[in-house]
Amino acid sequence: MDISKLFKKAQSLESLLQIHEKQKKYKELSLLIENPDFWNNQKNATEIQKEKAILEKEVERFLKIKQDINDYLELSKLIDATKRDELSQLVSEFKKLEYKLHQIEIEQMLSGATDKNNAILSINSGQGGIDSQDFAEILLRMYTRYAERHGYSVELMEFLPGEEAGIKNATILITGKFAYGYLKAEIGVHRLVRISPFDSNSRRHTSFCSIWAIPEIEDSIEIEIRPEDLRIDTFKSGGAGGQHVNKTESAIRITHIPTNTVVACQSERSQIKNRSTAMKILRSRLYDLEVKKRLANKNKAEAEKMEASFGSQIRNYVLAPYRLVKDLRTHHETGNVDAVLDGDIHQFIEMYLIYKKRN
């Protein structure tokens, strides 16, 4: 346990995070809010208050960690290192501080314009028939559990069940800070190898699913969607859902004709709610298309690499003849398959973020 390393890391992060500059900016905004004319421009005032709240949270979080390091230093002077219980407490506190600083380091890698946004995550079954559809449902649960572990909320936006088992595809909105920044690491093809529960001969099957993530776009970002460019179709929701779902055309499919982008929503019984959700997904997908278009104009090679990532296999989940989850990009692996499928995927996400930074 080297306390000097913690101090050096904290000092480095303090400079990287520009804590002093943020404290200065926070004071300037506080004075601005006190101005009697501040609320004359409602929209501008709201944006300034939002910026002030973000600055306050970031500064307070870091200063709290600095105080915790100082408290740890004082604690280390008082504790008798020869006593096992007291030494155990010291080790525990040191690990907590290391983890807090590590989390800040990881978040510094999420510097993209939309990394802090909520994430719209789509899961699509691929090759493998009914096993692939079952795998898609397993992944849906995995990402839902991941979100719950990190204090994120999950909203089902689109859901199409399989004929026999599992799901053909599903789209969920994961709400929380850095949700997109983390979950964009999951974009790609996922492969499952196991003894199929749907094979009467108990043979080993391989199935595939694709994951796609886009940031939820705030209303303040202008995305032009002209009504004449949209084709809106209604249809009956599929799967179980009671008499109302089966008899009412509450599901919505919206096609953006210029880009041939198609989105659908049938998670709600209200056609109005489904339409609102579908438009939210459409805005985010059109934003994502525009970002890729600009990237292509700026750097064609990098754009092609981004496009290829969707069609590339990124992770294997092997349940038979051995048990292993391995990321093919970073080569990070674990034999605790059950924990991973229960949402313990942050280890893979962090390793990917570090890998991307180095490459």
Domain spanning 3-108, CATH class:
mainly alpha
- Average pLDDT (110-125) is 90
According to DSSP, the β-strands at 167-175 and 324-327 are unpaired
pLDDT at 204: 92
Q: Could you give the angle at the alpha carbon of 214 between the alpha carbons of 329 and 271, nearest 5°?
A: 140
pLDDT at 245: 43
Whole-number Å distance between alpha carbons of 162 and 291 = 33
Quick one: pLDDT band at residue 251, thresholds 50, 70, 90? confident
pLDDT at 190: 95
Domain residue spans of the chain: 3-108, 112-304
Q: Could you give the angle at the alpha carbon of 290 between the alpha carbons of 289 and 293, nearest 5°?
A: 90
Whole-number Å distance between alpha carbons of 350 and 359 = 14
CATH number attached to the domain at 112-304: 3.30.70.1660
pTM over 0.75: no
Quick one: pLDDT band at residue 2, thresholds 50, 70, 90? low
Most confident residue range from 28-37, 65-74, 242-251: 28-37
